[in-house]
Amino acid sequence: MGRLTRDPAFKETTFVVIDFETTTPRGYPAQPIEVAALALRHDGNAWVSVGTYSSLIRPPAFAPVTPADTAQTGLTADEVGQAPSPAEALGGLDRQLADGCRYLLVAQHAATEANIIYNQREHCPTLSRTDLLDTIPLAKDVVPGLPNYKLDTLLSHFAIQQPADRHRAYADVDVTAQVFMRLVAEADRRDACDDLAALAKTAGRTAKCNLPVQSELFEV
Mind listing the pLDDT tens digit for each residue in 176-200?
A: 999 999 999 999 999 889 999 999 9
What are the tens digits of pLDDT across the range 37-52?
Answer: 999 999 989 999 999 9
For residue 61, CA distances in Å to 24, 30, 58, 73, 106 come to: 12, 13, 9, 19, 30
Residue 219 pLDDT > 80: no
At 18 the pLDDT is 98
Phi-psi region of 167 (alpha: psi -120 to 50; beta: other; left: phi over 0): left
Residue 2 has what pLDDT?
Answer: 82
Q: Are 204 and 13 in contact (CB under 8 A)?
A: no
CA distance 101 to 113: 21
142, 183 Cβ separation under 8 angstroms: yes
For 3-208, CATH number? 3.30.420.10
Q: Which has the closest alpha carbon to 74: 104, 33, 122?
A: 33
Residue 220 banded pLDDT, cuts 50, 70, 90: very low
CA distance 58 to 122: 16
How much of the chain, in percent, has pLDDT values that exceed 90? 92
pLDDT value of position 215: 55
pTM here is: 0.94
Write down the pLDDT at residue 192: 87
Rounded to the nearest 5°, which phi and psi values hold at 22?
Answer: -140, 165
Each residue's pLDDT tens digit, 51-99: 999 999 999 999 999 999 999 999 999 999 999 999 999 999 999 999 8
pLDDT at 213 over 80: no
Query: Mean of the pLDDT values across residues 100-121?
Result: 97
Q: Write down the pLDDT at residue 191.
A: 87
pLDDT in tens, 2-33: 899 999 999 999 999 999 999 999 999 999 99
Pairing label, strands 31-42, 204-205: unpaired
